[in-house]
Structure formats: C-alpha cells, structure tokens
Structure 1
C-alpha cells in the first residue's frame, strides 16, 4: 500500500508491530537513513528475495528507497512472498522530513 509521507510517518509511530525497511544500496544507506531501519538492497536480486524471506511475516513493514519506485517494487515482491502488511513511502527518503540518522 502506498502512503503519503505524513500518513506513513504517523502510522509507523502508532504501530507497535512495525519494522522499517530501507531497500537502497549500502552507499545510499550510509549517506543517511530513517532511525531503526533495516537495510536490504533490492538491487541484490535473488539475494534480496532470500534475505527478505527470512523476515517475520507477522510484522508490518514500512518500506522506503530514495524516491519510492524501488520500495514499491519491494512491497510487491514481499506481498508475493506472503507478507500481508507492507507500506511504501511515496516520494522516498529524498522527501523525508522526519528524523534521520548516520551509521
């Protein structure tokens, strides 16, 4: 499901079952990320699928990338793997006005 920046942030804040997933490259992640995010690079292809499939499918996943396209694709892949609750951040990290962290 695609959510606006505001809806994504407010829903995430109120969700005790939330996991934040950053699907950007390691280099992008190292330039800054949303605090608490797990980084699994969607460009890893089969490696991405393998790593994501190991995650707890009962959690709610708040997924983002730089602009929103890769994270939308990641949500679709995750849904095919049996994840029921994935939320894509429209506009991605480049439009994120919330808290940011550095590694």
Structure 2
C-alpha cells in the first residue's frame, strides 16, 4: 500500500491506464458526493466487502478513498493481503479532495 497526497494520487491516476477508483465510504457519504467513475464498495459491509474485493482484477491499479483516509488505508491493507499489489490510499480522503466530483 502507498499513501499518496492529493496531488500524487490524482496525477499518478491520470497517467495509469489500469487505474480503477474505489470508494469505500457508506452509501450516505456517497450520496453527498463522489469522484466520477468510482466503484462503491462499503468497507463497513465486512465479509461482503472482502468478497467484492476478491472479484476485482488484481492486475489493475486501485486508487482508494474514503472520507478522511483511514478506512481507505484499511481497505488498501486488506487488498494487499488478498494479493493486490497496486493499491493507493488517498491521504486526507474525499473531505480534502479538490479534483472533479459529483455533489
């Protein structure tokens, strides 16, 4: 797992042809706004979350975010344990995001 600043996260993602954006917040948080194109998998769903992660392509690069960066960090750690080598945590999360979003 790599913790990336907002700038590192967005510029690396823009240049990554295998980039997948993953939103691990609750549905209520997503309803308040999200990064366009993000896949929503609520980390609070426990085993359902893990099963959903297992269905993803481990060869892709995952740019993971939550509200503040804590849950997305946990999600990246889980992904690493499941064999995902390219999981990038957005430090500061969506609350600090200044890129494109839907609100």
Partners of 1:36 and 1:8 in 2: CA distance:
15
Q: Tell me, which stretches of 5 or more residues in structure 2 are unaligned?
A: none
Q: Does 1:50 align with 2:51?
A: yes
- The Cα offsets for residues 3-60 of structure 1, whole Å up to 9 and x where unpaired, read as 0000000000111100000000011111110011000000001110000110010100
TM-score (norm 2): 0.97
Runs ≥4 in structure 1, deviation > 6 angstroms?
A: none
Partner of 1:87: 88
Report the aligned-residue RMSD.
Answer: 0.6
Q: Does 1:9 align with 2:1?
A: no
Q: Tell me, which stretches of 5 or more residues in structure 1 are unaligned?
A: none
Partners of 1:33 and 1:6 in 2: CA distance:
17
Describe the SS at the equivalent of 2:7: helix
What number of residue pairs does the alignment pair up?
102
TM-score (norm 1): 0.97
